[in-house]
Amino acid sequence: MYDFDRLRLLLDAQYEWPSLYTFKFIVPAAQATEVERLFPPGSSSRRASSKGNYITVSATLNVGSAESVIAMYEEAAQIEGLIAL
């Protein structure tokens, strides 16, 4: 589904770890809480689509490595209907 080897190379080329990294996901409104549970309490924000059918959940976190970013994406990929940006 996702090319995590390529993502690892891109992350290591663009970031010095540890670094702030912004995660952004789009999900059906019913799954927004599942995405928010991936992040520490109070660290995420949400924005509804114009019709309210979809929610964008974003969080900027201090991440220690590309592996930590990939682990978050792997966990998020289990949520039905999720689109990672």
Domain ranges in the chain are 4-84
The Cα–Cα gap between 19 and 60 comes to: 10
Model pLDDT, residue 2: 66
Model pLDDT, residue 18: 96
**What's the pLDDT band for 1 if we cut at 50, 70, 90?**
low
CATH architecture of 4-84: 2-Layer Sandwich (3.30)
Inter-residue contact 61 to 36 (CB < 8 Å): no
20-79 residue pLDDT tens: 999 999 999 999 999 999 999 999 999 999 999 999 999 999 999 999 999 999 999 999
Task: Give 29: exposed, middle or buried? Use CB within 10 Å, 0-12, 13-18, 19+.
Answer: middle
